[in-house]
Amino acid sequence: QVQLAESGGGSVQAGGSLRLSCTNSGYTYSEHCMAWFRQTPGEERAEVAVIYLGDGRTLYVDSVKGRFTISQDSAKNTVYLEMNNLRPEDTAMYYCAAATPRGNDCPTSKYEYNGWGQGTQVTVYS
């Protein structure tokens, strides 16, 4: 069973950086997909970045490409989201979750992910 916990959020000025951590205290198959989502009040939870643990392939939503990097440390059972050049529109609650891949591809729908943590708040001020 996947049990995830996010940390690393905070308040930062635009242009700054943060690194979020997602630690898994449960069991994760090495072929799992791990993803970061974010949500603002009144909006749907949306995928930001995903990593396929099997081979390290990553995907990003267009708005964060070139600024965010998702990575894994399998020894620590942790997935990271390095966020650089942050913008006020990146302000949101950030969540991580796990999913079973569809063949060699990771799902993009939040409904296929589970193990949601409590989230970590990121606030970017101008």
Sign of CA dihedral 118, 47, 109, 50: negative
CA dist 23 and 17 (Å) reads: 20
pLDDT at residue number 31: 65
Residue with tokens 């905070």: 10
CA dist 32 → 15, 48, 106, 118, 125 (Å): 32, 17, 8, 20, 34
pLDDT at residue number 2: 77
pLDDT at residue number 65: 98
Q: Which residues pair with 97 in a beta bridge?
A: 35
pLDDT at residue number 30: 64
pLDDT in tens for each of the 126 residues of the chain?
778 999 999 999 999 999 999 998 877 666 689 999 999 999 999 999 999 988 899 999 999 999 999 999 988 889 999 999 999 999 999 999 999 988 888 998 899 998 898 999 999 999
Q: Are 94 and 81 in contact (CB under 8 A)?
A: yes
Residue 86 Ramachandran class (φ > 0 left, ψ -120 to 50 alpha, else beta):
beta
Angle at the Cα of 116 from the Cα atoms of 57 and 7, rounded to 5 degrees: 80
In angstroms, the first-to-last Cα distance of the chain is: 40
pLDDT at residue number 29: 66
